[in-house]
Amino acid sequence: MTLTEHELPKTRSGEPRAFFGRRSGKKLHGGQKAQVAEILPRFEIALAEQLDPRALFPEADRIVIEIGYGGGEHLARKAAEQPGTGFIGCEVFTGGIGKMVQAIEANDLENVRLYTDDALKLLMTLPEASVDEVYLLYPDPWPKTRHHKRRFVSPTTLDQLARVIRPGGVFNFATDIEDYADWTLAHILRQPSFIFAPQAPGSWHTPYPGWQPTRYERKARREGRMLSFYFSFPRQAV
């Protein structure tokens, strides 16, 4: 497969897109819907031509993005553990947004902002070297070969991640799908801004320090997928 076949599909206006699929499942119940309607506007990011994350978190010592936070367990926990860090969570699924809004309210998380559209749009508006760390945990693997171009990891998205992550920052990627792990490594090795330098063969199966399994990981284990890949790719220093 050639590199051009890994490029993202385009919108009708010719812009690359990185999100595919549904945005909602079960409808939010009345209480959830009211809570989201009341709280989300205080934390939701509205894009302009350029978004400076430091303006969102003027006192933060670090900026971290989680793309596709799902139910929000990892994002909410990290935000509670690191109150001095500004966290931006990207999710389009309404159920996940509702759960994250509930977590923000329950834990009084003032260091979180939410973006509810295609994460690539957000990345394209951020200044260069404006982010310290990015998480992409258990993204949709799009297992059918004809759908591989829908995977979030692509030359386009990695170019944007390389642009916005500061030198010395980190891109973290986790999956339980070996084919997606291979796909990601192949793309990383073509992207000179990121480093793949594991401490030892197989060390990528060791969870991140302080890791707690997400609900997607627990589901994978129940379905018999017992091995995950936890990659961390440092951004090449200038």
Residue identified by tokens 């309210």 is 105
pLDDT in tens, 136-166: 999 999 999 998 999 999 999 999 999 999 9
Per-residue confidence band for 80, with pLDDT thresholds at 50, 70 and 90: very high
Asked if the model's pLDDT at residue 57 lies above 60, the reply is yes
| Residue 2: predicted pLDDT | 47
Size (the chain), residues: 238
pLDDT in tens, 83-102: 999 999 999 999 999 999 99
- Is 61 a catalytic site residue? no
Please say whether the beta carbons of 230 and 207 come within 8 A.
yes
pLDDT above 70 as % of the chain: 87
**72 backbone φψ class: left, alpha, beta (φ>0; ψ -120 to 50):** left
**Two tokens, residue 233:** 């790719």
For residues 44-57, give the mean pLDDT: 91
Give pTM, 2 decimals: 0.89
Alpha carbons 32 and 29: distance in angstroms, whole number:
5
| Residue 13: predicted pLDDT | 58
Alpha carbons 205 and 119: distance in angstroms, whole number:
26
Largest CA distance in the chain: 51
Please say whether the beta carbons of 171 and 136 come within 8 A.
yes
Asked if the model's pLDDT at residue 15 lies above 80, the reply is no
Asked if the model's pLDDT at residue 21 lies above 70, the reply is no
Between the two ends of the chain, the Cα-to-Cα distance in Å is 31
pLDDT in tens, 175-210: 999 999 999 999 999 999 999 999 899 999 999 999
Per residue in 112-142, is it b (16+ CB within 10 Å) or e — as a string? bbbbbebbbbbbbbbeebbbbbbbbbbbbbb
Phi, psi at 52, each rounded to 5°: -95, 110
Active-site option among 52, 118, 132, 140:
140
Please say whether the beta carbons of 170 and 232 come within 8 A.
yes
Per-residue confidence band for 16, with pLDDT thresholds at 50, 70 and 90: low
| Residue 36: predicted pLDDT | 86
Asked if the model's pLDDT at residue 27 lies above 80, the reply is no
Please say whether the beta carbons of 156 and 226 come within 8 A.
no
